[in-house]
Structure 1
Amino acid sequence: MILYLDLFSGISGDMTLGALIDLGVPLEWLEQKLKPVLSGFSLQSEIVFKHHLRAVNLVVAVEDTTAARTYLDIRDLIGRADLPEPVKKNSLAAFERIARAESTIHGKEIETVHFHEIGGIDSLVDIIGSFLGVDYLGIKTIVSSKVPLGSGFVDCVHGRIPVPVPATLAILAGIEVTGSDATTEIVTPTGAAIVATLAGSFGPMPKMQISRIGYGAGKRETNSSLPNLLRMVLGEAVPPADKDYESDVLFKNESCLHQEKVFVVKTNVDDMNPEILGFVMERLFENKALDVSFTPIQMKKNRPGNQIEVICHGKDLETLSRLILTQTTAIGLRYHECERVVLERAVVTRETLWGEVLVKRIKGPDRVRYVPEYEVCKKIALEQDLPLRDVYSRIMAEVNPLDRA
């Protein structure tokens, strides 16, 4: 499934949840999934009309008004929660985006950042609930329109600040934004974190066969000519019309194959200490690189060098480009957009000789196979004083019984 976020009037947490409920996520199911993680709230929804357009207005009724939580508090809460792995991963990524923005703005270490408005139960419900809704609907690809921003001023715990608020701008760094005629905040830090985490690209609606449309209502009076709504369009991706494009022929009938647009970034270096390359790779992966590789090359004046190649989503292009230019001796780089095809995969647990372990489930055109995670095998090998290759082979054999036949 593919989802298009039409942000003609911005985005907030409650607008996102409202639109997802309008698309078919059951309110009772959502509350049931969130209750073991959070307490002191209930979910209520109602149908409203804005400019005669029907929408769902989602309200998080909060009993616990405690709002000040640290980033570490929230990270620990999500880490301990019994949530699907993609939901947990996206929730942690969203709050890390917010924490990094706040730490930069206030000049504090990320671990000491206190969330005020964003640390409340309602914001936690909005963020975790949104990712639960996406997981429930089986959405694999998300594209968003450009992000419109309002103007004016809002009052918060720090006093009166301009719109867009600093946290929202920091979270949206590297993402294309545009102005609007709204005279108040229409993209909240929560909404910015949700769209920055979910959307793989930003621009016009992709080719798709529409199945459902959902509207989530905002609560502010924006003084805009447009209704304060978030529109979500859900459907199936449509292959490009160009029949000479080989992926149309090869992949259109393979439900396990996921097509998406990515960017490939490259640069060549011949004057850099090779010991630094390992550190650069770690930093690139920490900042959402999809893949990183180093290729030995021969450069001008017959100098041996390395080509650094990074694959990433469009929203992470600027961050990763800055990192390459900061952490290496490169004085420039090149990039291009391309399409890639990846197999459907997820992290699951499987029972083995050493108890339950995390493995990667990969669904291919011919079968489903399971591959153990490196860190899991490494931990077992060190604890049991066993060769890593033996641990890896044993787990592979146990979780893929058909391969033993």
Structure 2
Amino acid sequence: MKKTMVFDCRVSGVSGDMLVSALVDAGADERAVAEEISRACMALPWCSEASVEFPVVERKGISARMMKLKLVEKPMEIEAKRFLEELEKALEQAELSEKARKLVRRTAGLLVDAEVEVHGGEAKLHELGSADTVADLVGFAKALEELDFLEAESYVTSVLVGGGVVQTGHGEVPVPAPATLEILRRTKIPFIIREGLGELATPTGVALLAGVEAKGCSMATVLKVASVGYGAGRKELEDRANVLRVMLGEPQGLVEELVVLRTNVDDVTGEVLGYALERLMEEGAEDAFIASVLGKKGRPAYLVEVTCQPSKAEKLLKLLVKELGTLGVRVCRCERFRVPRSVEEHVVRLEGEEYPVRVKRGELDGEVVRVKLEFDDVKRAAKAAGKSARVFLEHASYFIRQQQRRREDEQG
């Protein structure tokens, strides 16, 4: 079963240090994370000292870890390009896996792209150019590596970003800060603005969520929780516990937020509809179908419906308009209960030959509720074996069932 992590940012938003602290509280090796952060910061030419601790603190009765970072660095503005170059040099000295390094690069790229988009040209980084940002990026990646959650499925609740204004190196700006809003816009991470709370979501925090491709989810989440971690923010808030919560475990079923796109067309050929369906799936739709309906004035028409992740909605909406020529698309947000599934690799033997076939298994409450062979593999194998897809599917299903029974007998 694929590992899953859920970031709960509904109460006090998200920041890079809160995410790192929550993962340490959830079980990541504190010393390993601290050493990696210090090593990365010290590799920066403008940072001469760096140390970090994760003391236990209390926020409105909740025990949490807080990242306490001590830096001695020369205050400076740094161009985005140079920041990425120095970060790459720091990564060369890091004791990180390549997967962890890729996460750091991906997140840094999101931050820099957002700054360039907002400020234009050769953007100069103020707060984001600090060693503090590098500490968050590297600490987050190292913590996930220590937990063995770098390849986990990631989900996030709606992020409370706060509201009002905040003072930055660019002067006073509205909340969410421009770079934060740009990352949220690009990644479609769901968020909530609430006036009077100040800044509760930082660019680094939302970039880290985007870096692990966290999908929006409801808290109606059925998760077999292995560990829970709380990461504290630096400020005490009057009306709420300034903590972020992360839950690590395996999915028992998940209610995730999706977008449904619908449009009716009555002047498009079957060939164009079929091609549009192919393109929608190629571009990342979760599902798409076409149904015959009776339209206005008794005209025969087609209903085209697409289900997708929020981050894909804008691109797929435009594809619908371009491919079908429709002048209107209905957009609805919905929730989908997703049964946990895993994919297994099997080798099917037929007439002395072996054919690789993937098998999808759906499980709920520890019980297998569905087993299905990947039909693309069935088609490929059937063609290679000189059999019809129907015949190969029947043989492969029987062969895999027999294998499973033999394994159960050996274990029993």
Instruction: Output the TM-score relative to the length of structure 1.
Output: 0.62
Indicate the residue corresponding to 1:183 in structure 2: 197
SS of the residue 1:42 aligns to: strand
What do the CA deviations read for 1:329-363 (whole angstroms, capped 9, x no partner)?
77567899886967599xxxxxxxxxxxxxxxx9x
Contact 1:143 / 1:205 at 8 angstroms: preserved in 2?
A: no
Which of residues 174, 198, 222 in structure 2 aligns to 1:207? 222
Which residue of 1 is the match for residue 169 of structure 2? 157
Quote the residue 1:49 is aligned against.
58
Q: Does 1:132 align with 2:142?
A: yes
- Aligned position for 2:4: 2
Q: Secondary structure at the match of 1:43?
A: strand
Alpha carbons of structure 1 residues 37 and 181: separation in structure 2 relative to 1, 3 Å? same
CA distance in 1, matches of 2:306, 2:78: 35
Q: 2:315 aligns with which of 303, 316, 320?
A: 320
Cα distance change, pair 137–183 in 1 and its aligned pair in 2 (3 A): same
Letter in 2 for 1:53: I
Offset at residue 177 of structure 1 (A): 1.5
Question: Pairwise CA RMSD of aligned residues?
Answer: 4.4
- How much has 1:191 moved relative to structure 2? 0.9
Q: Show CA shifts across 1:265-299 (max 9, x none).
A: 8999999xxxxx9xxx9xx99xxx6699xxxxxxx
1:341-356 mapped onto 2 (5 Å cutoff): none
Per-residue deviation, 1:78: 4.6
Number of aligned residues: 311
Distance of 2:21 and 2:169 partners within structure 1 = 26
Q: Which letter maps to 1:187?
A: A
Query: Could you say if the C-alpha distance between residues 42 and 212 of structure 1 is closer, same or farther in structure 2, counting changes exceeding 3 Å?
Result: same
2: CA distance between counterparts of 1:130 and 1:238?
Answer: 26
What's the CA shift string for 1:297-350, capped at 9, x where partnerless? xxxxxxxxxxxx999744x224533664798777567899886967599xxxxx
Q: Which runs of 5+ in 2 are unaligned?
A: 270-274, 287-304, 346-357, 362-412
Q: Is the 8 A contact 1:91 1:128 kept in 2?
A: yes
Closer/same/farther in 2, CA of residues 79 and 51 from structure 1, 3 Å limit: same
Matched, 1:118 2:121: no
Shift in Å at residue 145 of structure 1?
0.9
The structural deviation recorded for 1:126 is 0.4
Instruction: State the shift of 1:155 in Å.
Output: 1.2
> Which residue of 1 is the match for residue 182 of structure 2?
170
Alignment of 1:56-71 (within 5 A): 56-71=65-80
Q: Distance in 2 between matches of 1:176 and 1:152?
A: 19
Does 2:144 match 1:142?
no
Shift of 1:172: 0.9
Structure 2 distance, partners of 1:63, 1:9, is 29
Return closer, same or farther for 1:2/1:74 CA change in 2, 3 Å cut-off. same
3-state secondary structure, aligned to 2:55: strand
1:66 CA drift (Å): 4.2
Percentage identity across aligned positions? 25
Query: How is 1:65-80 mapped onto 2 (pairs within 5 angstroms)?
Result: 65-79=74-88
- Say yes or no: does 1:12 pair with 2:15: yes
Counterparts of 1:237-386 in structure 2, within 5 Å, are 237-239=251-253, 313-314=309-310, 316-321=311-316, 324=319
Q: What one-letter code is carried by the residue in structure 2 that aligns with 1:237?
A: P
Alpha-carbon distance in structure 1 between the residues aligned to 2:163 and 2:56 = 28
Which one-letter code corresponds to 1:84 in the other structure? S
- For structure 1, the 5+ residue unaligned runs are 241-259, 272-276, 293-308, 346-361, 366-405
Larger radius of gyration: 2
Q: Secondary structure at the match of 1:220?
A: coil
What's the counterpart of residue 25 of structure 1? 28
Matched, 1:219 2:234: yes
Aligned-residue offset at 1:96: 2.5
Task: Provide the C-alpha distance between the structure 2 equivalents of 1:53 and 1:3, rounded to a whole number of angstroms.
Answer: 20
Name the CA shift for 1:42/1:186 in 2 (closer, same or farther; >3 Å): same
Contact 1:11–1:187 under 8 Å retained in 2: yes
Paired residue type of 1:196: A
Match of 1:230 in 2: 244
**Residues 162 and 192 of structure 2 are in contact (CA less than 8 Å); yes or no, is this contact kept in structure 1?**
no
Task: Pick closer, same or farther for the CA change 1:313–1:326 going to 2, 3 Å.
Answer: same
Cα distance change on mapping 1:55 and 1:214 into 2, 3 Å: same
Distance 1:229 1:105, change over 3 A: same
CA displacement, residues 61-85 of structure 1 (integer Å, 9 cap, x when unaligned)? 1122345333323433454524323
Deviation at 1:33, TM superposition (A): 3.1
Counterpart CA distance in 1 for 2:145 and 2:326 is 40
Distance, in Å, in 2 between the alignment partners of 1:290 and 1:60 is 40
Partner Cα separation in structure 2 for residue 160 and residue 239 of structure 1: 44
